[in-house]
Amino acid sequence: MKIALIQMNSQPDRAANLRQAELLLQRTLSGKPDLIVLPEHFDWTGGTAHQKRAAADRVPGGAAYELVKNFAARNQVAVHAGSLLETKPGSERIYNTSVVFDAHGNEIGVYRKIHLFDIVAPDGKVYRESETVAAGDSLLIYEIGGLRIACCICYDLRFSRLFDRLASENVDVFILPAAFTRQTGIDHWEVLCRARAIEFQAYVVACGQCGHYETPTGERREMHGHSMVCDPWGKVVAEIKDDVDVLFVEIDPARIATVRSLIPMAAHRVDLQGIELEVRMAQR
């Protein structure tokens, strides 16, 4: 199975982002992929809370949704539409949503990001995704080309219990659209991608944003880029650096089977619910 990853530099300009996405989607066709992956926030990055709410659109039916749906149908290729801003009826908050289309342009399913990025970075920059985004409450696994593919988004990467839950359903590939910050990405991005691949003996397809955008107050925010694919042994088999680009990679089911036979973790896994736990404090 051939996957194409699209690394973008989205801005607080929805029309420009959709033009960029469509051009890059078109570029992937030269590699004849079975599945194309877009990054997190391919339709909108940055802006004020009000602008984010205004940029959010319907699922189904919105401009970003229809662009990808029509591209998939027209070119007979499946697309994992990284994430887009989705309106949440009756709420001031919105969703950060992945939508997956099959090669006929039919919606396979949606995944709404569960773990929201509320942190203070080492340089003092504040990220409060939950101020505008509501957390999702369901997971999605889908099948293409005989492979079981699980959805996650960006900050989800840090939560191994989510991956453990998905892996319990015999997942072969995790797809992670992202917009990792440069500060956290330098130290954590590759480490976490490789760790999840090793822990759960599956491919990790991590598709990111690169470059920078500016906040309404003129603050420059850098994104890490470095879209990559890790195989089930934890080896980085393909990577883009810091540029807007397209990356092609082959997913080999035989590689998954080989790694799982070498280290049969599934057969060795213990149900820890039945294991007694003691916590003891040393005397002072």
Task: Answer yes or no: 154 catalytic.
Answer: yes
Question: Structure tokens of 260?
Answer: 């799982």
Catalytic one among 69, 113, 129, 207?
Answer: 113
Could you write out the DSSP letters of every residue in 79-107? EEEEEEEEE-TT-S-EEEEEEEE-TTS-E
Question: Alpha-carbon distance 269 to 283, whole Å?
Answer: 34
Which one of the listed residues 69, 86, 151, 154 is annotated catalytic? 154
Nearest of 9, 62, 24 to residue 179 by alpha carbon: 9
Look at residues 143, 162, 139, 160 and name the one whose alpha carbon lies nearest to residue 151.
139
With tokens 């820890």, the residue in question is: 272
**Distance of alpha carbon 127 from alpha carbon 178, whole angstroms:** 15
Nearest CA-CA partner of 101 in 59, 138, 139, 137: 59
Peptide bond into 60 cis (omega under 30): yes
3-state DSSP assignment of residue 207: strand
Annotated active-site residue 193? The verdict is: no
- Closest of 208, 170, 184 to residue 123, by C-alpha: 184
DSSP 8-state class, residue 151: E
The verdict on whether omega for the bond into residue 122 sits within 30 degrees of 0, i.e. cis, is no
Catalytic site residues? 40, 113, 154
